[in-house]
Amino acid sequence: MKHMQTPSQTVGPFFHYGLMVEQDQNVLYDEMTRGQRIHIKGQVIDGKSQPVTDAMIEIWQADAGGHHNHPSDPNQAQADPHFKGFGRVDTVHNGQFLFRTIKPGRVAYDAEADQAPHINVRVFSRGMLIHAYTRLYFSDEEEANKTDPVLNLVPADRRYTLVASREDTGELPTYCFNVVLQGEMETVFFNP
Amino acid sequence: MQELPRVLTSLDWNVQPPYLHAPYKSTVLRSPQKPLIPLPQTLSELTGPVYGHENIRPLDNDLTKNAVVNGEPVGERIIVVGRVIDEDGRPVPNALIEVWQANACGRYIHKNDQHPAPLDPNFTGAGRVLTDANGEYRFTTIKPGAYPWRNHENAWRPAHIHFSIFGTAFISRLVTQMFFPGDPLMPLDPIYNGIPDENGRKRLISEYAHDITEPEWALGYRFNIVLNGSRMTPFETKDA
């Protein structure tokens, strides 16, 4: 007999002192980590285009070789021991967030195909009874994006909401990824 | 050909709350409204951060001690225990549980909480614990007070403890709230009532646990948690 899933409830407005205690959870690499260092910046926006200042973003990604340091990854042995792959951040400053991470490699989709480089993203907030799932792709991976089996499930006119645009104005490549919770430019969210 | 991990069940929308639940007013502008896209379960979804004892400090599971400055925190001392299992009844070991809550007066230590109830200098209301090999956890805290908010006239949240749980996979994540049996504020709470199913709502009410209660020390409560389980359909490949 199946047990019933425990229902979700909102993270509420006061999660910071429970979940943001450790410093620098938005920095995923150390000096030993392999791969191209990148920044990911963005803003969480509500249905009236206002910044959401009490959201939390969590990310999960593969290492530079496309592997995860997790027992379900058949190539765990090859995963970078200096990369955990998880990060989280709040949006207290005007709805904005920043991650410092590395560009992920391509993760296998099945026995034959690979996925385009991507980062899995979860969005939590006061006013969300359950978190939302989305994915971040990279604007400089145009060829890989074209054949990505997950991106291809998304209606063509909405795919742009998942593609972070690269800026080269700073020291490191910076990818801009806004999370629009509602409205004309609503980010594509997934049902896992 | 590589071996692929077991496929997990999806969110059960008969039990999980919808994004839009108008009585909870903040959902109105923060609820995605376009159709969700079904997400295939690839290695990206079936893996997740791995936690261990190195992530837990000695007093993390005792909120009555982990913020002491000059005395004991005020309020009713309680012990909360429970088991994290999946839908198939299998224990989830090494799940990281983070909790946060208001103090006995219903005041959060967060700087944005303007409720004019006293702060407790000896209580922050934050803790963490790892489940053991049987999926079991235990922490000690103070029973939180009811908390006023501005969702509607005379709105009060029932006493609750926030829970954040990392299961084994990216898609096993759960953030929820634990309530206390017999709280008269629950039928009036639009957050609790955002859960569509009555049995689902009941899953969030802890039960009084006399076997956990310690004489002349603390009352016990039990709060079991169920994460998604295995799906029987095989992993789909393009050859299937």
Over the stretch B12-67, which tens digit does the pLDDT of each residue have?
999 999 999 999 999 999 999 999 999 999 999 999 999 999 899 999 999 999 99
Per the domain annotation, does A168 fall within a domain? yes
A186 lies in a domain?
Answer: no
Active site residue B53: no
Report if residue A120 sits inside a domain.
yes
Are the beta carbons of B43 and A58 separated by less than 8 Å? Answer: no
Tens digits of per-residue pLDDT, B169-220? 999 999 999 999 999 999 999 999 999 999 999 999 999 999 999 999 999 9
What distance in Å separates residue B178's CA from the closest CA in chain A? Answer: 9
Which among B97, B85, B101, B92 has a CA at the least distance from the CA of B60? Answer: B97
Q: Smallest CA–CA separation between B67 and chain A, in Å?
A: 12
**Are the CB atoms for B12 and A5 separated by under 8 Å?**
yes
Kindly list the residues from chain A whose CB atom is less than 8 angstroms away from the CB atom of residue B200.
4-5, 7
Q: Look up the domain containing A64 and give its range.
A: 25-180
* Residue A2 domain-assigned (yes or no): no
B43-67 b/e with 16+ CB inside 10 Å = b? bbbbbbbbbeeeebeeebbbbbbbb
Question: Considering the domain boundaries, does residue A1 fall inside one?
Answer: no
Kind and range of the H or E element at B198? Answer: helix B198-202
Q: Looking at residue A108, which CATH number applies to its domain?
A: 2.60.130.10
pTM of the prediction? 0.96
Q: How many domains does chain A have?
A: 1
Cα radius of gyration (chain A):
17
Q: Which of residues 47-106 of A touch B (CB under 8 A)?
A: 47-48, 50, 52, 58, 60-62, 68-75, 84-86
B26 φ/ψ angles, rounded to the nearest 5 degrees: -65, -15
What's the pLDDT at A21? 85
Residues of chain A found within 8 Å of residue B16, distances taken between Cβ atoms: 5, 7-8, 130
Q: Is residue A14 part of a domain?
A: no
A182: nearest CA partner in chain B: B32
Position A15 in a domain: no
Give the span between the Cα atoms of B64 and B44, in whole angstroms: 38
Of A121, A118, A122, A179, whose CA–CA distance to A149 is shortest? Answer: A118
Per-residue pLDDT reduced to its tens digit, A21-69: 888 999 999 999 999 999 999 999 999 999 999 999 999 999 999 999 9
Is A99 within the bounds of a domain?
yes
Query: Of B162, B203, B222, B231, which is the active-site residue?
Result: B162
* Gap between the Cα atoms of A162 and A145, Å rounded: 10
